[in-house]
């Protein structure tokens, strides 16, 4: 074998994530590594907590980045909050609702499913019905922004419903954080996880999470230990606490955290409302162009995520060939369909730094050319 | 709050990890992010597998990097290989043997402990005794290089003992990989995990692992599902398989994997034997200097790891003050004692790119000056 250094091309990332990353963030990523217990690094982690609190719109003390991808953040929420035998109402309207069910079962919980069609938002009425019928349920779990379909569910209504029926909520905000309004405290959400590589436009590999005081209380009152040592948040808490005395848990992914700090700083400087507005405006621009080309969206207009545009592949088109063409000719990545939509849809991401007019224009022009071939 | 970009100083990392990182690796880290399903990235992952096989000295097909720190790699080994109720013999001669026990218990296993004093290697005789007394044991778990003490255990003898008694071995090679001989196939080890931030001198956050065919067979014959979805290696296998068709599991930490590829390439180009020799030579140099200064090692000479030098803090010295002084004056990080050695020892790392004459000279000079104050 003769292996050389890997020199990737400069792709334009308009799939479901990772999204385009600002050069400023890549620069931060490559700054010299310091020790994970270095006082300066501990100071940076404290700032990171504040920046995450801003992004999540929360004052939750326990707001950190799990040192692993979003699927580990998901698992962290489930294994910490569920004790064996507990009932969890899980909303499923795409791939990630099903993954939630998997997590519940593996954590020893009992999943009660509330199903909605792929591409539709979670039905608030059905969830209320399920809560009524399962008064022994402890948790309501749902996906705010379904990455597999591009549907946005009403996290505010669902969060408040959970409170009304006395259950905790676990919310997948992987694709929503930074792209559409998400107000953890105002909506009374209890355990929310996200990913670094979507609308935050950071490198993949980190999962921001936040736990409400009620969620922390449930964790602290557990009768059984959390099944995962790595994801046991009662241990992680000692590591992220800003009290000066830090207990060693694992070695933090130092450089990735530099990048997250920088990407959150960019978000803070832009302002959340402005970021949401930018995603929405770019979506309108893209939508107008796609409709002109005759594309149809998978999701109805009122529940469409601006940052993830799932459109049906026109009949007679080899969808994989088009994606390869875009990649090879324009260095442009768009996403394939996932699960039930595999082979039938494309997913065009406008996430974070990718939500720019030049990306929208390139994508429309390249798609038009590809289809004309 | 007014938060600025985080600009870390250039530290010289001679603690227990993260270790110094070559500028070449940091450069690779910051190359443009590509999609995790991009054909070029999949090609890079295939190369990465080959490079990891070289580093581990194995032909195991299942040789990958877990997308999380070493403690997640540890957990991946335990939760995949243990089924509830199974007996595991765990060797404990430092912090990480105890962490192994935690993992066994949380995975529903029964841990039979073989204890040795901190700073001593695992006793092969005691392990054989335990294997004889526990003929129903399924797994032997031990730490090759104890990061908390700097003791190296005889992984070859222990691995062969496991085979002789018909049990699988789980081996912690976090600090050994790349620093001292580790020959997975020759020593017949079954599940071995490491970390990116030790002798590979890559950024922290990844855990190289390798599973023997016998280990894979046990995983495939499981009667119960793996309790962790994120760490379920039967799912991860589909993601890392080089068959062209890759099933989505999670979003790989793209940029960190660039860095790991580069650091393994550096190791390959140097040659494993040369790397081991370099670690050993730098250790001799450091040892000679430390002994001149009157320091005593925690570990006896015959089982001392060259890459992790635990020495007792001289009486009457405020150890934390010395470490702060080294950091503030020389940007030099050395490690504190951990667990039973907290406050009593320092740990001086000579790992990977940090194992250079200039680091040794600086460390000796800086320590001498600090003690004279």
- What does A14-46 look like in DSSP terms, one character per residue? ESSSSPP--HHHHHHHTSPP--TT-HHHHHHHH
Q: What is the DSSP string of B138-156?
A: EEEEEESEETTTTEE--HH
| Amino acid B311: pLDDT | 98
Q: What's the Cα-to-Cα distance from A105 to each of A79, A170, B124, B224, B370, rounded to whole Å? A: 10, 15, 40, 12, 56
User: What distance in Å separates residue B14's CA from the closest CA in chain A?
Assistant: 9
Assess A313–B contact: CB distance below 8 Å, yes or no. no
Taking only residues 20 to 59 of chain A, the set having a beta carbon closer than 8 angstroms to any beta carbon of chain B reads 20-21, 26-36, 38-41, 44, 47, 50-51
Assess B280–A contact: CB distance below 8 Å, yes or no. no
Residue of B nearest to A27 (CA): B30
| Amino acid A244: pLDDT | 53
| Amino acid B244: pLDDT | 53
Query: Mean pLDDT throughout A336-353?
Result: 96
| Amino acid A363: pLDDT | 98
| Amino acid A245: pLDDT | 63
Is pLDDT of A243 > 70?
A: no
- According to DSSP, residue A98 is labeled H
Nearest to B347 by CA among B355, B339, B336: B336
Assess A245–B contact: CB distance below 8 Å, yes or no. no
Contacts of residue A212, Cβ cutoff 8 Å, sequence gap at least 6: A58, A60, A168, A184, A188, A189, A190, A191
Nearest to B8 by CA among A36, A235, A200: A36
A230–B72 C-beta distance less than 8 A: yes
| Amino acid A241: pLDDT | 73
Model confidence over A87-134: pLDDT tens digits? 999 999 999 999 999 999 999 999 999 999 999 999 999 999 999 999
Assess B127–A contact: CB distance below 8 Å, yes or no. no
Axis crossing angle, helix B233-240 with helix B70-81, rounded to the nearest 10: 120
Average pLDDT, chain B: 96
Assess B245–A contact: CB distance below 8 Å, yes or no. no
ipTM over 0.95: yes
Q: Residue B277: how many CB atoms within 10 A of its CB? A: 13
Helices (H), A59-123: 70-81, 95-106
| Amino acid A236: pLDDT | 86
Can you tell me which residue has the tokens 């013999």?
B89
Fold designation for A12-18+272-372: 3.90.1150
CATH tag, B12-17+271-372 = 3.90.1150.10
In this complex, which of B30, B34, B50 lies closest to A1 when CB atoms are compared? B50
User: What distance in Å separates residue A287's CA from the closest CA in chain B?
Assistant: 23
Model confidence over A28-77: pLDDT tens digits? 999 999 999 999 999 999 999 999 999 999 999 999 999 999 999 999 99
Query: Mean pLDDT throughout A225-232?
Result: 96
Q: Does domain A23-268 have CATH number 3.40.50.1000?
A: no
Q: What is the DSSP string of B212-251?
A: -HHHHHHHHT-SS--S-STT-HHHHHHHH--SS-----S-
Average pLDDT, chain A: 96
**Dist CA B162 CA B154 (whole Å):** 12
| Amino acid B243: pLDDT | 56
Query: Mean pLDDT throughout A209-230?
Result: 96
A30–B26 C-beta distance less than 8 A: yes
What is the mean pLDDT of each successive set of 10 residues along chain B, which is 373 residues long?
93 97 98 96 96 98 96 98 98 97 98 98 98 98 97 98 98 98 98 98 98 97 96 86 70 97 98 98 98 97 98 96 97 95 97 98 97 85
Write down the domain spans for chain B: 12-17+271-372, 23-268
**Is-cis flag, bond preceding A100, omega within 30?**
no
B258–A34 C-beta distance less than 8 A: no
B107–A8 C-beta distance less than 8 A: no
Residue B271, Ramachandran bin (φ over 0: left; ψ between -120 and 50: alpha; else beta): left
| Amino acid A317: pLDDT | 95
Q: What's the Cα-to-Cα distance from B318 to each of B292, B313, B321, B363, rounded to whole Å? A: 21, 8, 5, 18
Model confidence over B28-63: pLDDT tens digits? 999 999 999 999 999 999 999 999 999 999 999 999
| Amino acid B245: pLDDT | 63
Partners of residue B11 in chain A, C-beta under 8 Å? 32-35, 38
Partners of residue B69 in chain A, C-beta under 8 Å? 67-68, 230, 250-253
Helices (H), chain A: 23-29, 39-56, 70-81, 95-106, 124-133, 155-164, 213-220, 233-240, 254-270, 272-292, 319-330, 357-372
User: What distance in Å separates residue A71's CA from the closest CA in chain B?
Assistant: 6
């Amino acid at each position: 074998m003769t292996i050389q250094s890997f020199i990737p091309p400069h792709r334009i990332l308009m799939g479901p994530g990772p999204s385009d990353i600002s050069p400023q963030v890549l620069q931060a990523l490559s700054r010299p590594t310091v020790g994970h217990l270095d006082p300066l690094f501990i100071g940076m982690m404290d700032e990171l907590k504040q920046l995450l609190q801003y992004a999540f719109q929360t004052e939750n003390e326990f707001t950190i980045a799990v040192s692993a991808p979003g699927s580990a953040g998901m698992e962290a929420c489930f294994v910490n909050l569920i004790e064996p035998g507990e009932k969890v109402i899980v909303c499923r309207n795409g791939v990630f609702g099903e993954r939630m069910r998997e997590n519940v079962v593996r954590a020893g919980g009992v999943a009660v499913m509330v199903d909605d069609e792929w591409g539709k938002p979670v039905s608030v009425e059905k969830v209320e019905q399920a809560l009524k019928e399962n008064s022994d349920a402890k948790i309501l779990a749902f996906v705010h922004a379904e990455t597999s379909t591009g549907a946005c569910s009403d996290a505010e209504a669902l969060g408040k419903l959970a409170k009304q029926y006395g259950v905790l909520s676990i919310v997948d905000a992987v694709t929503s954080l930074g792209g559409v309004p998400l107000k953890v405290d105002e909506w009374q959400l209890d355990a929310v996880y996200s990913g670094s590589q979507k609308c935050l436009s950071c490198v993949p590999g980190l999962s921001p999470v936040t736990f409400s005081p009620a969620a922390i209380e449930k964790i602290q009152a557990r009768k059984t230990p959390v099944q995962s040592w790595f994801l046991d948040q009662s241990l992680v808490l000692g590591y992220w606490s800003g009290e000066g005395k830090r207990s060693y848990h694992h070695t933090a992914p130092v450089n990735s955290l530099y990048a997250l700090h920088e990407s959150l700083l960019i978000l803070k400087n832009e302002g959340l409302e402005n970021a949401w507005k930018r995603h929405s405006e770019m979506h309108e621009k893209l939508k107008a162009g796609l409709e002109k080309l005759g594309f149809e969206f998978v999701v109805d207009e009122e529940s469409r995520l601006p940052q993830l545009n799932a459109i049906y592949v026109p009949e007679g088109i080899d969808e994989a060939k088009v994606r390869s063409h875009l990649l090879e000719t324009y260095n442009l990545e768009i996403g394939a369909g996932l699960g039930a939509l595999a082979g039938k849809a494309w997913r065009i991401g406008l996430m974070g730094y990718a939500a720019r007019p030049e990306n929208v224009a390139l994508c429309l022009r390249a798609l038009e050319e590809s289809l004309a071939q």
